[in-house]
């Protein structure tokens, strides 16, 4: 008995697989098609260094607009410091709060503004953690623009903090003998030095791993610089070894210069010292900041 194959049993035969399918071709758009979807206008020019820096400065201002709680450190904190030190030490050190306020207010203004400079480094570190800086580095613009923009935005904070303290001082009885010109010159000098000093914290913002580390490091530097100075008391009442530190303390020289301008007694030596130290801060820490930024 013979057995039939499946093909014979059904009367059909298997056909071989067809290999004559048409080949798939990659679509290559024509030059006319590409030109239709691209912008027909000329390529925009690369933004200048000033334009890019101002744009990032405006970005910093918008962040304050959307998160107004950031202004707490330049409004509530200066008011608290001014009231506390005036009425706590005024009677003991000067015999009356009014007389002590004439000496204290320029120093408190410097203390409050200088201590807020650390927030520049905190903001830089926060943007790095969020990955924003990776996008900045890919943009065709002047490389230091983000750094300068941060500092330009913070100059608004410094000006606001100084203005709040000045208004409060005038209400409490502060009467600057230097007049409007002396007060404005003192505030301008303070904001300019704070801009230079902020480069220090910008460097730490790039260097350290978290914003808490930036704040902790800045406090270790700012507290000795501000409290071991001529802000609260006359350095002549301090021990000799402490006077040596005050004599080289840049914050002490800044306080003396601002105090002299507001009192109508311009000290050229202090002005030169503050201007030179601010220039050194920008050159040294600005260079270090940009090197870290390019390697980050």
Helix (H, G, I), strand (E, B) or coil at 264: coil
For residues 241-264, b (16+ Cβ closer than 10 Å) or e, as one string? eeeeebeebbbbbbbbbbbbbbbe
Tens digits of residue pLDDT in 196-252: 999 999 999 988 888 889 989 999 999 999 999 999 888 888 898 999 999 999 999
Residue 33 domain-assigned (yes or no): no
Residue 24: band (very low, low, confident or very high) from pLDDT cuts 50, 70, 90: low
pLDDT at 191: 94
Q: How many structural domains does the chain have? A: 1
Q: Is the pLDDT of residue 8 over 80?
A: no
Residue 87 domain-assigned (yes or no): yes
**Whether the Cβ atoms of residue 111 and residue 226 lie closer than 8 Å to each other:** yes
Residue 268 domain-assigned (yes or no): yes
More confident residue, 70 or 121: 121
Q: What are phi and psi of 89, to 5 degrees?
A: -110, -15
Residue 36 domain-assigned (yes or no): no
- pTM surpassing 0.85? no
Residue 144 domain-assigned (yes or no): yes
Domain coverage including residue 239: 48-295
Residue 24 domain-assigned (yes or no): no
Residue 2 domain-assigned (yes or no): no
Residue 63 domain-assigned (yes or no): yes
């Amino acid at each position: 008995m013979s057995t039939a194959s499946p093909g014979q049993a059904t009367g059909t035969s298997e056909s071989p697989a067809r290999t004559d399918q048409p080949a798939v071709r990659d679509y290559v758009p024509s030059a006319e098609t590409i030109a239709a979807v691209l912008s027909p206008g000329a390529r925009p020019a690369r933004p200048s260094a000033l334009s890019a820096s101002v744009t990032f400065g405006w970005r910093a201002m918008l962040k304050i607009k959307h998160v107004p709680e950031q202004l707490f450190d330049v409004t509530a904190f200066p008011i608290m410091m001014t009231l506390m030190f005036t009425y706590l030490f005024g009677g003991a050190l000067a015999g009356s709060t009014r007389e002590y306020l004439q000496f204290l207010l320029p120093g408190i203004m410097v203390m409050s503004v200088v201590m807020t400079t650390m927030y520049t480094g905190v903001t830089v570190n926060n943007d790095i953690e969020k990955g924003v800086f990776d996008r900045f580095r890919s943009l065709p613009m002047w490389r230091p623009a983000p750094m300068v923009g941060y500092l330009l935005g913070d100059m608004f904070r410094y000006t606001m903090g100084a203005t709040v303290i000045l208004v409060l001082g005038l209400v409490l009885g502060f009467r600057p003998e230097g007049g409007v010109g002396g007060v404005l010159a003192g505030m301008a000098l303070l904001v300019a030095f704070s801009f230079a000093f902020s480069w220090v914290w910008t460097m730490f913002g790039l260097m350290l791993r978290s914003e808490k580390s930036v704040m902790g490091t800045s406090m270790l530097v700012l507290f000795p610089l501000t409290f071991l100075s001529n802000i609260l008391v006359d350095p002549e009442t301090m021990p000799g070894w402490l006077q040596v530190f005050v004599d080289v303390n840049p914050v002490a020289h800044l306080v003396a210069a601002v105090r002299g301008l507001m009192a109508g007694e311009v000290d050229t030596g202090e002005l030169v010292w503050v201007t030179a130290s601010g220039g050194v801060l920008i050159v040294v820490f600005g260079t270090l900041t940009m090197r870290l930024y390019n390697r980050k």
